[in-house]
Chain A
Amino acid sequence: MNCSIREEHLDDYVDGMLTEPQRAETERHLESCETCRLTVEFLRGLQATADAMPREIKPSRDLWADLEARISPTRVMQVDFRGRGPLALLGVRSVRGQWVALAAAALVLVVASSGITAYFMGNPELDPGAGLPGLSGVGEPVASTMEEFRPAEIGYAKAIDDLLQTLDDRREALDPETLTVIEANLRVIDAAIRRARAAIEEYPGESELALVLADNYRKKLEFLQRANLLIERS
């Protein structure tokens, strides 16, 4: 460019971001400078074309089926409320003090999860040396294939099943929106569990992945426990 105007300045001019005196000065310059005039013309044409571009483009295939499989409560929660959807769980809420069964569920959970801890602790090959493995426990290899992890997973599934079933038994006392909150959170954790499982299958031999998966299961148990506490206290 042969003139002193910076192109960025013309950007601002076209975008209407100049002050009034700056704008007036730029317009005076444009009258005498063809290079800048062409730039402005291009920028205006570009924006006009951009404005005319379609806002919607359809993907070449329908993505819903995959998406549905990933959000469906039966798939997502693994242990569903025995086939009943959220609708069946819309129920009458009781007053305070009727939450004994849920507290009991939390107790079941504690017992069940300490069972898992015992599983890890009691098995020298699987014991990471830090009790229930967590993300922060950079321990020795726990299990590096899904095959090796399966016994632990069954333990977790059992604990989760017990808890969900107790929730199910008390579903009439559950506030539907609370249930929505719980389900939404469980879905997030379950997505993480699925992702970690897939990674273990994809990269057998990556021992830390088992810790990651175990950690996600632990989080699910803790979340259910907290969920009970929330329900109990509210």
Chain B
Amino acid sequence: MRKISLALILGLALGGGLVTMDATDAATPGARQSVDETRHASRHADIEVYNVAGSVRVIGWDRAEVQVTGTLGRGTEGLEFDSDEDDVYIEVEVPSGGRRGEQQFDQVYGSDLEIRVPERANVEIDSLSASVEVIGVDGEITITTVRGGVIVDGSPRELNVNTGSGDLAIEAGAGTREIELISGSGSVELNAEGSEVSVETVGGDITVVGLGLLDTSLGSTAGSIHFTGDLVGTNDYDFESFHGGITVILPADVSAVIDASSFAGGIQNDFGFEPRSSERGKVGKRLDFEVGGGEADVFIKTFSGSIEIRKS
């Protein structure tokens, strides 16, 4: 314990030294530089944003312009902001050799950006620890962040999010065709309408409320899965978790074939069919039945969690 703390303190002290040097080179130590810049861009521009820490807030607007406002972390080396109409590049520049030691890192390099973009632009955001928020953007959105949380509200044509430990809260409207969300330990909350959905986590819990979702796949290693929604036509709806419980809430008049199995957990079912032991082996429970016209395919599987199939 003591040894580790000491090493950490040393590490931070060394890191602090480096940063101070960088900071005195640039400007007054501790000062956060503010930014307010606007560039012309096409309405369908591809916009790439890179901010290592702090926050990024992107808001769609009805102008052929990109505007960046906010403040830069005191350890940063400025903002790169280029536009050639179709491609826009925004990067908070960080000195090479900047030390990534815990809190101090976020404090020194953390920059808060608010970026207004044409509402139909495609936006790609990369970060280490910044929290990311995207509102009212209809183009494709791609977000990668190791540990920042992500909030999206709008109808992006496609949405792709990959995070390590950040929580995701997504509200996607009817214009969204495809949603792919990947998280490690962060939880995922998604409200969506009419799109294809794929969500995968390691430990994070998944909660999805869907209206007319097409092919849907929710998977986790240890997180629980909670799905509420109707099913459309012959689409596939897969829910799989190794350790987590799975709750699927469906309309009473749903038309589906439902195949649910749990190796070590129980199965509760509102649709009036009793689970039986799996055919092949001695352990595990399986429930396999058809309701309504049997159109959609519902597959529910967990190893040690329990399964609940409910009528909404």
Residues of A whose CB lies within 8 Å of any CB of B are 87, 90-96, 135-136, 141, 175-178, 181-182, 184-185, 188-189, 191-192, 195-196, 199, 203, 205-209, 212, 215-216, 219, 223, 226-227, 229-231, 233-234
**Contact between B7 and A178 (Cβ–Cβ < 8 Å)?**
no
Closest-CB distance, B241 to chain A (whole angstroms): 9
**Stretch of B24-32, B97-105, B248-256 at the chain-chain interface:** B97-105
A188 to B243: give the CA distance in the assembly, Å: 10
With A and B bound together, what is the CA distance between A52 and B145 in angstroms?
48
Chain A interface secondary structure, helix, strand, loop or mixed?
Answer: helix
Of the stretches B150-158, B267-275, B298-306, the one at the interface is B298-306
Q: Contacts A185-B184, A215-B242, A230-B162 given; 15 further ones with Cβ under 8 A?
A: A93-B100, A94-B97, A95-B96, A135-B219, A135-B301, A175-B128, A178-B100, A181-B164, A185-B165, A191-B222, A203-B282, A205-B282, A208-B278, A226-B182, A233-B162
Docked complex Cα distance between A95 and B96 (Å): 5
What separation, in Å, do the CA atoms of A91 and B8 have in the docked complex?
Answer: 11
A91 CA / B304 CA spacing, docked (Å)? 38
B contacts, CB < 8 Å to A? 4, 7-8, 11, 50, 52, 94-102, 105, 126-129, 144-147, 162-165, 182, 184-185, 202-203, 219, 221-222, 238, 240, 242-243, 263-264, 278, 280-284, 299, 301, 303-304
Q: Is the CB of B162 within 8 A of A229?
A: yes
The answer to whether residues A192 and B222 also contact, given A176-B101, A212-B303 and a CB cut-off of 8 A, is yes
Q: How far is the CA of A184 from the CA of B147 in the complex (A)?
A: 12
Selected A-B contacts with CB under 8 Å, 11 pairs: A135-B242, A136-B299, A175-B146, A176-B101, A178-B147, A188-B202, A203-B282, A206-B281, A208-B263, A216-B221, A234-B52
- Closest A residue by C-beta to B128: A234
How many interface contacts (CB-CB < 8 Å) are there between A and B? Answer: 139
**A195 pairs with B303, CB closer than 8 A:** yes
- Complex contact A185–B202 (CB within 8 A): yes
Cβ contact within 8 Å between A188 and B282: no
One of A94, A175, A189, A207 near B221 (C-beta < 8 A): A189
Is the beta-carbon distance between B281 and A208 smaller than 8 angstroms? yes
Contact indicator B101/A195 (Cβ below 8 Å): no
Assess A185 versus B146: contact at CB under 8 Å? Given A93-B99, A223-B202. Answer: no
- Please report the C-alpha to C-alpha distance between residue A234 and residue B238 in the assembled complex, in whole angstroms: 31
Docked-complex contact B146 and A231, CB < 8 angstroms: yes
Q: Could you tell me if A223 and B97 are in contact, using CB atoms closer than 8 angstroms?
A: no
B282: chain A residues at CB < 8 Å are 203, 205-206
| Contact A205:B299 (CB < 8 A) given known A177-B129, A230-B146 | no
Cα of A181 to Cα of B99 in the assembled complex, Å:
18
A189 to B242, CA, bound (A): 9
Contact of B127 among A94, A185, A196, A234 (CB under 8 A): A234
